[in-house]
Structure 1
Amino acid sequence: MIAMQYKILLPDDYDMNIIRQRVSVNGYKTDGFQDLLFKAYLIAEKVDSTKSCNEYSPLYMWKENGGMNKFIFEGYYDNILSSFGWQKINIGIPMTCRLEKDFNRSKFALEIEHEVTPIQQMKAINFSLDIDDCTGKVLIYNPDKWKYVEYYFYKDMPIEKTVGRIYKVLHLSQ
């Protein structure tokens, strides 16, 4: 498996309904896409001066790289380029991917980013939160940057919202 995500940071005054409409009209196009385990159409909104920014950050989990290559190089990613310009695509390796039977009902995702600090003996990376009421958990690492990210998916707004970034899930393609 391989994970892929691009984080499109949008201006504070950007109308996020544009993204909602975009996903409403086009989200189904990645349903059943070659080698795609899931694509979570994630957005975060700036609600006041204490929140970071408006963001559109789709998260992809690919079973094989063939589908990812097709998506990037055979015209599908061109929609992102024409709408938002050149975006850096973050690539990661899934360490853990647990999707519950009700994963497709996820409406929120909690993202927690971490640095991997230098150590003398490598050990497996684990989730930092002990959460059982989520619809899915994904842990992705990137040894090129020595970072890892945890995602927890929920049907309802998570209580743990102070420890990371909360996204709304607009659509889940599987």
Structure 2
Amino acid sequence: MHAMNYRITLPADYDMGIVRHRVATRGHLLDAFPGLGLKAYLVRERGKDGSPVNGYAPFYLWNTVEGMNSFLWGPGFRGLAEDFGRPAVEHWTGLAFERGPAIGTTPRQAARCAWRLPSGEPPGRAVDEAVAELSDAAGRPGLHSAALAVDPRRWELLRFTLWQDAAPAEPGDERYEVLHLSRPGLDSLPTGRQW
């Protein structure tokens, strides 16, 4: 599993209806994309749910590197770059994935939290603790799914959760509205620890 996200900050007076229309008319194009586990079409609006900015931030879980590369070097990402400029694409190696009690529903909110691993601590211990926490939280009411991933270049962990309704307020979380969820390979994403 590979996680990928790009976050596009938009002007404070940007008409977010443009993004909503884009997702409503194009979101379905990845509903059967080969190699894709899921894509959550995420937005933040300035002044809502504590967001200081307007933003568009699609988040992906890939089952295959070939699928991810096919998207990045193909017409899908090219169209986004033409409309918004080419954003920096963050990506992480998957550590764990959990299905929640609301996996059969359409998620409405998401939360994203990234943090650096402590420099004076063996990284394996911190990763094991984060995987255990993700597993323990998998039964929370309203949880659709949760993923944990790592960027070993920056020693950064990322937790991404999808929620049936409102995402619980957790320290460090960025909260998003989910406009659409493409899930062609959701059932193929392996559950639990990824090694």
Query: Normalising by structure 1, what TM-score?
Result: 0.90
CA offsets, 1:93-130, max 9 Å, x none? 11111134743511101112211121353322416676
Show the counterpart of 1:138.
Answer: 147
**Larger deviation, residues 160-169 vs 7-16:** 160-169
Q: Which has the higher helix share?
A: 2
Show the counterpart of 1:73.
Answer: 73
**Are residues 1:173 and 2:182 paired?**
yes
Q: Amino acid of the residue matched to residue 159 of structure 1?
A: P
Q: Amino acid of the residue matched to residue 114 of structure 2?
A: E
Map of 1:10-21 to 2, 5 A cutoff?
Answer: 10-21=10-21
The Cα shift of 1:163 comes to 4.3
Give the unaligned 5+ runs of structure 2. Answer: 184-195
**Larger deviation, residues 62-71 vs 101-110:** 101-110
CA distance in 2, matches of 1:120, 1:148: 14
Map of 1:10-159 to 2, 5 A cutoff?
Answer: 10-47=10-47, 51-100=51-100, 102-103=102-103, 104-121=105-122, 122-123=124-125, 124-125=127-128, 126=130, 131=137, 132-133=140-141, 134-159=143-168
SS of the equivalent of 1:78 reads helix
Number of aligned residue pairs:
173
CA distance in 1, matches of 2:97, 2:146: 6
CA distance in 1, matches of 2:178, 2:40: 6
CA distance in 2, matches of 1:113, 1:52: 18
CA offsets, 1:2-41, max 9 Å, x none? 1111111111111111111000000000001010000000
Query: Normalising by structure 2, what TM-score?
Result: 0.81
Q: Is the 8 A contact 2:110 2:160 kept in 1?
A: yes
Give the unaligned 5+ runs of structure 1. Answer: none
Q: Is the 8 A contact 2:44 2:51 kept in 1?
A: no
Question: Structure 1 runs of 4+ off > 4 angstroms?
Answer: 127-130
The Cα shift of 1:136 comes to 0.8
SS of the equivalent of 2:55 reads strand
Q: Amino acid of the residue matched to residue 88 of structure 2?
A: K
Q: Amino acid of the residue matched to residue 20 of structure 2?
A: R
The Cα shift of 1:161 comes to 5.3
Q: Is the 8 A contact 2:102 2:163 kept in 1?
A: no
CA offsets, 1:67-103, max 9 Å, x none? 1111111222111110011211101011111134743
| RMSD over equivalenced CA pairs, Å | 1.9
